[in-house]
Structure 1
């Protein structure tokens, strides 16, 4: 078991989310930065779908009742385990009674804390993710609070070397100031040439209207050449919609499964982690790419994770 000593309602149990249920009105939910979650589980030798804690309210503090392993990834934040400071994107052994404290990030918005064997909350609709918007899944369908005790799954065999192991920078992490890559969406051609050029040429400010459901951006108005009413249609995390105000809204992990605002673009899956780490006041830029580049970016990420999992397995000790 682990015990939550200090937390906020935005901190929750998350995994990779609920897949294949959008047509039934069930949003994906899951980690906002799936790449960081995947890396944490790979370092520990956990199953790919193991649940971890997404920390978005700081400071965060937890205590381990048993000896196990822990990995901390995601935003750059000072992490203190017992009497030592952990490097970024690091995994290490934990002793029973150790406390882990995570300070507010210096870069990024969300930290991921994975534990050997994962957080063993009940599966619901194929996942352990917390859907904060609707109040189900995870730990009692809500954010974590002081005094919560979370069960752990069976820890993978073997342990980590003394001092622990770390992950090299994931694809795109060192170029985090570059543009978010997008594919043109269904109503792309209905926006004027000027609006399309504006969309990719300016920096869009992340407003305070940002949560796990979506993020409203601030910038010049984007208007369609031909206005027409649209029926509600399917949307996914990464969909960029433009309401009548002309200010884009990017759908995130707990996005609605359908909506009627026109869609100008969709952020490619490999770049969604950037949105999960964006803070109010940050500036985002967009660049249009093709399907082949989007698929190549996914392959690059998959190859990096596969290499990390294989390398971590070599360091495991019996």
Structure 2
């Protein structure tokens, strides 16, 4: 069990989401950086979709009421256990009473705390994720607050990790060929032209050529972008249509909105492009004020990147299993 000692708004319990209910108006929710959750769960011996804590407002502190194996992923900073710096992207063992502290990461927006056994909150529509807009899921459908106490789930892996922990090279480094870093201070985000792209004519090209900034009016539902407004060539009355994370819509203001993890289930704004799925985790780690440039992509490129990520995840899984087999042979 853990107890929340210090937290800010919008820190929640999340897993990989609850897809399949958009037809009845239920957003998938789930982690803004699902790759960090998946890798963390593999390291501590959980199923990929076990529930974790998504931290996006810092500092954050929790106390281990009972001991347990945990890891902190997503962040590029160092978590602290009783004041001692730990490596991120690595397993650690906490004793009862110890306090884990997460401070603001140097560059990234979010950190994820994964626990062996996951977090024992109710499963609703196949997921333990918090839906803040719906007010359900996670820990009573709301952000974590000081004094919250949450039990661990039943672990499927009972072997203690090695004393040095099981660590992994973070995706931004291991996959640097697939995910290029910022160019002139702007994060390149790959996208594919969407259904109403042709409505924007020359402004459609301006969408790709200019640098956008994530505005302060952004949250888990969507990132609103600040920049030179783009407008369709004519006013078009559109029916509402289904949208998913990654869809980029353009409201009358001309400043695009990228749908994120808590994406609306439907909307009537024209769609100019869609971010490829494998770049969504990088958007999830982009802070308010970050600069973005959209790069034209193709379905073939998106598929190739998806395969590169899948190979990375499988390598992490095989390494973890190899270490566990070696430990088992020694006991």
| TM-score of the superposed pair, with normalisation by structure 1 | 0.96
Q: CA deviation at 1:83?
A: 4.5
User: What is the DSSP-based 3-state SS (H/G/I as helix, E as strand, rest coil) of the residue aligned with 2:205?
Assistant: helix
User: What is the DSSP-based 3-state SS (H/G/I as helix, E as strand, rest coil) of the residue aligned with 1:294?
Assistant: helix
Residue 163 of structure 2 corresponds to: 162
1:175 and 2:180 matched: yes
Alignment map for 1:1-318 (pairs within 5 Å): 1-155=1-155, 156-170=157-171, 171-172=175-176, 175-177=180-182, 178-192=187-201, 194-316=202-324, 317-318=327-328
Q: CA deviation at 1:95?
A: 1.7
User: What is the DSSP-based 3-state SS (H/G/I as helix, E as strand, rest coil) of the residue aligned with 1:166?
Assistant: coil
User: What is the DSSP-based 3-state SS (H/G/I as helix, E as strand, rest coil) of the residue aligned with 2:316?
Assistant: helix
Q: Deviations over 1:10-31 (max 9, x none)?
A: 1000000011111221111010
Partners of 1:299 and 1:18 in 2: CA distance? 23
Unaligned runs of 5+ in 2: none
Q: CA deviation at 1:128?
A: 0.1
Q: Deviations over 1:197-249 (max 9, x none)?
A: 21111110111011111111011111112321000001001110001111101
Partners of 1:268 and 1:110 in 2: CA distance? 20
Partners of 2:122 and 2:288 in 1: CA distance? 33
User: What is the DSSP-based 3-state SS (H/G/I as helix, E as strand, rest coil) of the residue aligned with 1:264?
Assistant: strand
Partners of 1:4 and 1:283 in 2: CA distance? 33
Q: Which moved more, 1:107-116 or 1:69-78?
A: 69-78
User: What is the DSSP-based 3-state SS (H/G/I as helix, E as strand, rest coil) of the residue aligned with 1:58?
Assistant: coil
| Residues 45 and 309 in structure 1, CA contact (< 8 A), matched pair in contact too | no
Q: Which moved more, 1:85-94 or 1:114-123?
A: 85-94
Q: CA deviation at 1:65?
A: 1.8
| Residues 14 and 31 in structure 2, CA contact (< 8 A), matched pair in contact too | yes
User: What is the DSSP-based 3-state SS (H/G/I as helix, E as strand, rest coil) of the residue aligned with 1:285?
Assistant: strand
Q: Which moved more, 1:234-243 or 1:21-30?
A: 21-30
Partners of 1:255 and 1:224 in 2: CA distance? 23
Partners of 1:295 and 1:174 in 2: CA distance? 14
| Residues 30 and 130 in structure 1, CA contact (< 8 A), matched pair in contact too | yes
User: What is the DSSP-based 3-state SS (H/G/I as helix, E as strand, rest coil) of the residue aligned with 2:300?
Assistant: helix
Q: Which moved more, 1:234-243 or 1:73-82?
A: 73-82
Unaligned runs of 5+ in 1: none
Say what the alpha-carbon RMSD is for the aligned residues.
Answer: 1.4
User: What is the DSSP-based 3-state SS (H/G/I as helix, E as strand, rest coil) of the residue aligned with 1:108?
Assistant: coil
Q: Which moved more, 1:70-79 or 1:130-139?
A: 70-79
Partners of 1:134 and 1:246 in 2: CA distance? 28
User: What is the DSSP-based 3-state SS (H/G/I as helix, E as strand, rest coil) of the residue aligned with 2:43?
Assistant: helix
User: What is the DSSP-based 3-state SS (H/G/I as helix, E as strand, rest coil) of the residue aligned with 1:179?
Assistant: strand
User: What is the DSSP-based 3-state SS (H/G/I as helix, E as strand, rest coil) of the residue aligned with 2:109?
Assistant: strand
